[in-house]
Structure formats: structure tokens, C-alpha cells
A and B are shown apart, each in its own frame.
Chain A
């Protein structure tokens, strides 16, 4: 299949210039501060430490500024260079040598500096401080939380530049622009909901927009109503995507490790989205065969306390499902497990229903469940049909008005 695989809108619709960024956030001190720090930097001067919550454009600004002022960017993700050794090796090469052939300046970017942790963390900080002191090229760092005591040595050698949470209005403006480009008619209120849920985080707002709007012509308030549980679900979407696109058993089985969801919750997510992902009845039936197997083993495991069965459950629900695929993976909009939403929506109705069952049960020597299946349907009919029986039954069962209304119009 030639359809492009999943392209994140956060990449596709990223601002490409300082002007574009300013178009979204307006005039901002931090942009100017960063630019002037970079322009005026000379060896021996302080590094820059950009800090602020996720998704406010720290990394983006560094990339855009580097491009616009023609710097060669050496980007390092601090969280994947845990040890002092790797850090020094990677950064050292670029910071001490100046290119002979290129007139381009260099810029070293250490992203997620607060992601430095574990063994050698203190050493890594010390190493960075030394690098900053002896570097012949500017070093910029980014962090969500720069106030960690362990980062103090870094703060002392850095110009601190704060990024604030984005305003909802800025986020809405950007979302609107994306919708226009994607040819989506978006209800302003829907965008507002997305923006507010994002709490100043542009990246999550754009991700959410893509999740609810991709492939649609119109975006309504209804479409975004399930975004409430964003954090959990965002996680789940990624996990599902990994699972459904896995080509090898091991890749699929590994999904369980990268998921913050427990396997039972993940199972609900898979159940919800399986019919969306697999539309060919052949592959759907096969995949459900495995999911049902996983569920049977889950039941056995719990009932008999045979915890060693877990490995089969996980194999069935991951590899079993991924290997049922006949057609290539294609982008699918996933949904939040419906049953949970529906249950929440129908909660009041259920409460009424249950209290009626309770009353029947106590008067008719029945379990609540039997009252529900054996008596309730006939009560509905009696309430639809006549006025006379209704009054007696109401009085005998001591029903209130909302219960009567429930019986009259059913569910």
C-alpha cells in the first residue's frame, strides 16, 4: 500500500521560522533573549538554559533559530546519553574542534537536561559544566524543571530563559491554521475544548487534534467529547499503534513493556479498537479469536490463581493480534473504550433501574438479577399499556415518579 504511514501533525505543521512562531505566540521576550544571547556569544560566556513545561516550543525555537542564523546544530538528547563518558565523547568532538571547511557556526543543543539521572548523574553534570567553560561553540540546554538541586552547577553557568505555558488563544489560532490546511471545517468550540485540555501544551493539543480530526471534513464538539481522559488515552493510542503495526511476534510482545497501562486495561483498549483497525472480516475474526483466548486465560488465571498463565495471555493479546493482520497497517483513529463512557452516561438510568429491581427483588423473593430479567420486561409492558394496574403496582412497590417514568418509556 502506498498510503503514507502515520505522519504526526506536530511535525507536519511545525512552524518553520521565527516569524511563524511569533505569529502564533505574539511578541515574546524569550525569543528575543535567546536570539541575542546566541548572536552575542563568545567563547567563555555562559550557556543558555531554556526551561518551561512540555510542548511550549523550547526545542522548536532552538531548531528554528539555528536554521535562520545558519548554525550547524548538534543535538543531543540528554536522557539517552546517561553516562559522563558518552556525553563527553559526543559533545567533546564538536565543541573543541572548529570546522576547517565550513564557515557555519556550530550550536550544541542538550535537550531534556533534567532527564539526566541514574548512575553517573552528578558526574554528567560536572562534565557539562566543564564543557561549557571550555567550549568554543555556544551550548544551549533545555529542561522542564531546572530547579532540581542537582542541576545547580548548570544554573550557575547558564543564562536562564523561561518559557511560559501557551495561552489558549495562541493554541486555538494554531489549531485553526492546521484545520484550514487539512481542509477541515472545525467548530471553534471544539478547538477551544482541545486547547483548554492541553493546558498550554501545544504538542499535546496538536496530537489531540490529529487524533480526533484526521480524515474528517468537519470537526464538531461531539468529536472531542471523549478527549477528557487525554493523558491516559494518549498513552494508549501510541501503544495501540505500535501493537497493530508490529510485523514480528517479538515486536508485538514488547508493546506490553512500553505501556503504562496494565494488561487488563490494555485489553479493553484493544477490544474497543480492534474492529476499527481490522476491517476485513477474515483478519478481524482471527484477531478476536486470539483476544478471546487471552480473555479465557485471564479468567482461568484469576480463578485458579495460576499466575504463571500470564505469559500466554500477553502473547495472545499482543502477538496473536498483530499476526492476524492480512492487510498492511494503515492509520486508524482510535477511540476510548466505549463501554466505560456509556456506563458513565447511563449511570443515572442504571441507578433508577437498579433501585426498581431492588424493590421487586425484596417483594417477589427473587434475586435482583432475576428481577431484572424476569419481571422488569413485563413491568415495562404493563406501564406502557394501562393506567389501572400501573397505580397499584406503583403503590405496592413504592415507586417514585422517576421510576414510573423510567418504566413507562423504558431504558
Chain B
């Protein structure tokens, strides 16, 4: 095998498939990707689909099988949300595309993950970059939402839509890992993981490993314990404080979340969305809050300063809370 390095300690990595055949589900996609390997040729690819469905894994397996031992020399992995702007991406691509591919595949591959984090201006530049280097490089673009990718890029790529994994797929993989690791995983444990992570296999495996870290069998209790510990309670407290009318204290929680947990405003609003329906408030009020959440979520993408949008949301909550109290 091409992997001589130390075995990864995190199970998500340790059990990340190394061959296309090992990938859970996504059968049709895998068949087509295997044909690319046989022909030693690929077009630009665009992988879209929800998190934890195997997009990055498929891209990695594809290049492992294309290049074998030489994959490291022929593959550049970039993450759009980490690179500082399209300029740095362009520079890195340019440097990288300058040298020719090693081995019998006539091109190099650039895997660009989280493309939907790019602004449309950046995507237009990306389109030009793809064009500029098409003789020597192929791009594998990865995104959660295809609709966030501009049309001209979509039209230059073969698009593969990764579907949400089924409960059976997830359960099977979890059981496989648990057996390998000598961990007892109960059916209730699987149900609980499914409840928390749904079709996101990455999250499911992380949950499994964290729950297993307690030493005992992985059952629903341990899973919910992990989920509870891993989910900041600040969001719930923040909502309660705001509804009570204490906007200042609620905002303090926001700062905690942003600074201590490194969450962005969007992350917080996503959590809020989940928490809203767990709140102990009259049902119709939940929908009024949900309405605010949706509006805030949209404004976060339109505005400049997340703090202001979030605090504005809290202020609206305080008003609702006062209305509720009469």
C-alpha cells in the first residue's frame, strides 16, 4: 500500500476508504469514477452533496487509484475556505501546474474543497484558472450546494451528486469499525447516533469514537452524553436569556461561543434553528422565533458584521418574550 505513515488515531481518518470500492453507497458515482481510472483520463469534476457523504473520500480514492505511489506528487489539495482569496489559489495553482505530471497520467489533479465558500467573483476567476491550465491539470471541485456554484463552472464539469446515506449504510459502517476496534456497540447506540448525526458519516464516526472513549459499551446513554458535551449549551442559555429580556447577558453567551468555541454567526444561527424547537415556549411562538431565525440567517450572508445581526436577533427575541409574558 501507498500508506506507510503511522495509522491515524482518529477513526474518521483511520477508516477512511482507500479504494473506490470501499466507499459506502454512491454506487453509480463509483462505477463512473472507476471508468475514469481505467481510461486514465478525467474531465473536471464537481462533487456536490451533504456533509459526510464521501465526496472528499471519493476524490482521494480516485487520485490514489489514478496515480498509485506517485499520488502525492500529482495532487494538490486546497481548501477554498482556508485560502486567503482567489489570488493565493491562483498563485498556488500556477506554481503547481508549472511542472509536468509524473507517471503515465498526462495531467495533475487539484482538489478544491468547500468551493461553495467562494464568492461568485472568486468563482469567475477560478473559471479562468481552470481554462488557463486545462492542458496540464484537472480540477475536482467539492461543494455542499451545487446551486452556489456559478453556471459557467458547472457547465465545464462533470457533476456528481452524492446522496444522503441511509441508516443501513451508516449502521453497517459503524458496526464494521466497532468490531475492528473491539468496541461493543448496542442497537440503541446505533439508533442514537443516527438520531444525532443522520446521514453524516463523519459525524457518526466521531460520535462513536468519543462515546467509546468512556471505556464502556456504546449505548444510547453514552451517545447522548457525548452529543450533549459536544454541543455547546450556551446556545440554549442564550435563547432563554434573550426571551427573559436580558439582551446583554445573552450577548455575552454569543461572545463565549464565538471566542471559546470558535463559532461564526452562521454556526450559531444553525444551532439556534435546532434549539428553537426544543424551547419551553408556546408552540406558535416557536414559529415566530423561527421566522426571525430565517431572516437573520439570510441577513448574515448579506450583512457585514455578524455580531450586529445576532444581537439584533436577540433584541427581537426579547420583544417576543415580553409579548409572551403579556
Residue in contact with B312 in the complex, picked from A281, A291, A363, A396, CB distance below 8 Å: A291
Counting CB contacts under 8 A, is A292 at the interface?
yes
Contacts A/B (CB < 8 Å), 16 sampled: A271-B305, A274-B311, A274-B315, A275-B311, A275-B315, A281-B319, A282-B322, A284-B247, A295-B309, A350-B262, A375-B206, A378-B230, A381-B213, A384-B229, A397-B9, A411-B259
Q: Is the CB of A292 within 8 A of B303?
A: yes
Bound Cα distance A200, B43 (Å): 72
Residue in A closest to B119 when the chains form the complex, CB atoms: A303
Residue in contact with A338 in the complex, picked from B229, B255, B302, CB distance below 8 Å: B255
Contacts of B6 in A (CB 8 A): 395-396
Bound Cα distance A296, B316 (Å): 16
Q: Is the CB of A349 within 8 A of B9?
A: no
Q: Is the CB of B248 within 8 A of A378?
A: no
Closest 5 CB pairs of A and B: A411-B260, A377-B230, A396-B9, A292-B312, A288-B315
Q: Is the CB of B229 within 8 A of A389?
A: no
| Nearest Cβ on chain B to A186's Cβ, whole angstroms | 25
Q: Is the CB of A378 within 8 A of B8?
A: no
Contacts of B9 in A (CB 8 A): 389, 392-393, 395-397
Q: Is the CB of B82 within 8 A of A364?
A: no
| Nearest Cβ on chain B to A220's Cβ, whole angstroms | 19
Q: Is the CB of A393 within 8 A of B299?
A: no
| Nearest Cβ on chain B to A300's Cβ, whole angstroms | 6
Q: Is the CB of A389 within 8 A of B262?
A: no
The answer to whether A393 and B215 touch (CB under 8 A), given A298-B303, A353-B262, is no
A263-302 vs B, Cβ < 8 Å mask (1 yes, 0 no): 0100110010011100001101101110110111011101
Count A/B pairs, Cβ under 8 Å. Answer: 181
Counting CB contacts under 8 A, is A198 at the interface?
no
Counting CB contacts under 8 A, is A370 at the interface?
yes
- Chain B interface: which of A72-80, A122-130, A339-347? A339-347
Counting CB contacts under 8 A, is B318 at the interface?
yes
- List 18 extra interface pairs beyond A295-B303, A360-B10, CB under 8 A: A268-B305, A275-B315, A281-B321, A284-B319, A296-B303, A296-B309, A299-B303, A299-B304, A343-B259, A365-B113, A367-B80, A368-B81, A375-B10, A375-B206, A381-B213, A382-B210, A388-B213, A389-B212
Residues 178 to 231 of chain B near chain A (Cβ within 8 Å): 202-203, 206-207, 209-210, 212-215, 226, 229-231
Contacts of B316 in A (CB 8 A): 285, 288-289
Q: Is the CB of B311 within 8 A of A288?
A: yes
Residue in A closest to B296 when the chains form the complex, CB atoms: A292
Contacts of B299 in A (CB 8 A): 292, 295-296
The prevalent SS among residues of B at the interface is helix
Q: Is the CB of B319 within 8 A of A385?
A: no
Counting CB contacts under 8 A, is A204 at the interface?
no
B240-267 vs A, Cβ < 8 Å mask (1 yes, 0 no): 0000010110011001101111111001
Bound Cα distance A287, B308 (Å): 11
Residues 295 to 354 of chain A near chain B (Cβ within 8 Å): 295-296, 298-300, 302-303, 338-339, 342-343, 346, 349-350, 353-354
Residues on A lying within 8 angstroms of B by beta carbon are 264, 267-268, 271, 274-276, 281-282, 284-285, 287-289, 291-292, 294-296, 298-300, 302-303, 338-339, 342-343, 346, 349-350, 353-354, 357, 360-361, 363-370, 372-378, 380-382, 384-386, 388-389, 392-393, 395-397, 410-411
Bound Cα distance A309, B260 (Å): 35
Residues on B lying within 8 angstroms of A by beta carbon are 6, 8-10, 12-13, 51, 56, 60, 77, 79-82, 113-114, 117, 119, 202-203, 206-207, 209-210, 212-215, 226, 229-232, 245, 247-248, 251-252, 255-256, 258-264, 267, 299, 302-305, 307-309, 311-312, 315-316, 318-319, 321-322
| Nearest Cβ on chain B to A372's Cβ, whole angstroms | 5
The prevalent SS among residues of A at the interface is helix
The answer to whether A275 and B247 touch (CB under 8 A), given A288-B316, A292-B299, A411-B261, is yes
Contacts of A296 in B (CB 8 A): 299, 302-303, 309
Bound Cα distance A271, B258 (Å): 16
With most chain A CB atoms within 10 A of its CB, the pick from B6, B232, B259 is: B259
| Nearest Cβ on chain B to A368's Cβ, whole angstroms | 5
Contacts of B113 in A (CB 8 A): 365-367
Q: Is the CB of A295 within 8 A of B305?
A: yes
The answer to whether A364 and B81 touch (CB under 8 A), given A271-B308, A377-B231, A386-B214, is no
Contacts of B56 in A (CB 8 A): 365-366
Bound Cα distance A242, B81 (Å): 41
Q: Is the CB of B77 within 8 A of A365?
A: yes
Q: Is the CB of B214 within 8 A of A284?
A: no
Q: Is the CB of A367 within 8 A of B229?
A: no
Bound Cα distance A128, B277 (Å): 76
Q: Is the CB of B206 within 8 A of A368?
A: no
Q: Is the CB of A367 within 8 A of B81?
A: yes
Bound Cα distance A364, B311 (Å): 34
